[in-house]
Structure 1
């Protein structure tokens, strides 16, 4: 007996559903699990975990902070790059800050929950902190000496043109980083004021910082994932003197360890070399 067309179509769809469920929902996942158990791949599929004396201390693929209980860098260890993933290197909250190059004005408020720093101020503050830790010049262009974005709101008589009538240092409620701008005294900012909406032209001031800062870019910016386990060779080199001093090693010994734990470009030409911070710090502990 010939089945009705609508019933035949439904039965064909059901058969296709069952076949693809078996193939893609059962067989394919089991095949991938089996491939992941092959010698040479089993460690990677398990998260590339690093174990010391039967204790898992981290992963080669996920960065981590080397700080004390108060969040301060532990001087004996190489420091990782900043992370915007959760409270830092949280694999369940991988993310970037989503702040771009136009983020130069802080949100100032008496309420800590409402206040927020711009990307520029975050970079300035991090650079200053790294400079203090490593004993080098942490200054950067468009940053003030106290580590915030050097940004003014400039008010003109005719909107965007004409003589300057008022100037506000938008990221500072204290003493402005410059006293005058084009002959006009610079005011300190007040909490809750939106000087851009009031007609101020946002103007970043470069200052006299070197064009090529001593503190590398990856020391002051988070990666897109927030989980990058590597730092640049330049950032590692910046930390060598501190590590050698804290551990009583020669500079040559520490530099040799850095070189041993520097990964080259993928396939010889993709990306940039990177230093795996966890593996390097474990090698230091082994010394």
Structure 2
């Protein structure tokens, strides 16, 4: 057997071993971990109400009307098929105008300065969270529209405030879909 033939056979065996290892066993292990240990996340973190899927805890939705807490602005109109930011620089005239308009509308609606997440869209345009300050600023409007005591709605926001990931990553946040579903249950 020549040296070249031995090298070709060794290469073919290595190709077969790596194909089975990386093309079959590794994907099967990842799939099994997703199905067994993380099935909710593997299915898209779907949120259900009365057995029906109403959204995903990972995707923002456009809630209209005074009855609901509203999320961050979205440059994609919350369309998951076209997620993405506006790609406007902070100094862009269009961005400056949009932020000024949102700040004025927020101050008029809530009587306080708007937190940053009420002024700018997230990078994906689909962020499902708002800051606790943003959610708390909306409590009065939501409570009045739903005929609920402000303290009860405030407590609901506090109950749905998630802390930093692992205690130090990111900022505290409130998932708007989950908060609105809890609000709906409260009003029943």
Q: Structures share a fold, TM > 0.5?
A: yes
Q: What CA distance in whole angstroms lies between the structure 2 residues aligned with 1:129 and 1:281? A: 22
Task: Give the corresponding residue for 2:2.
Answer: 3
Q: 1:81-96 residue pairs with structure 2 within 5 A?
A: 81-84=72-75, 87-96=76-85
Unaligned runs of 5+ in 1: 68-73, 105-117, 138-213
**Matched residue pairs, number?**
186
For residues 179 and 6 of structure 2, the distance between their equivalents in structure 1, rounded to whole angstroms, comes to 64
Query: Deviation per CA, 1:108-153, whole angstroms, max 9, x where unpaired?
Result: xxxxxxxxxx111111122233334x2436xxxxxxxxxxxxxxxx
Taking the TM superposition and a 5 Å limit, the aligned residue runs for 1:72-221 are 74-84=65-75, 87-104=76-93, 118-132=94-108, 134-136=109-111, 214-221=113-120
Find out whether 1:55 has 2:30 as its counterpart: no
Which deviates further from its counterpart, 245-254 or 119-128?
119-128
- Return the structure number with greater strand share: 1
* Whole-angstrom CA distance in 1 between matches of 2:15 and 2:81: 33
CA distance, structure 1, for counterparts of residue 110 and residue 154 of structure 2: 18
2:35 matched to which residue of 1?
37
Counterpart of 1:28 in structure 2 is 26
Residue-by-residue CA offset, 1:52-80 (whole Å, 9 max, x unaligned): 1221101111111113xxxxxx1110000
Residue from 148, 157, 168 that aligns with 1:258: 157
| Partner SS state of residue 47, structure 1 | coil
Cα distance in structure 2, aligned partners of 1:260 and 1:20: 49
Q: CA RMSD in A?
A: 1.7
SS in 1 for 2:126: coil
Q: Alpha-carbon deviation of 1:244? A: 0.6
**4+ residue runs of structure 1 moved beyond 6 angstroms?**
none
Greater share of helix: 2
Deviations 1:152-184 (A, max 9, x none): xxxxxxxxxxxxxxxxxxxxxxxxxxxxxxxxx
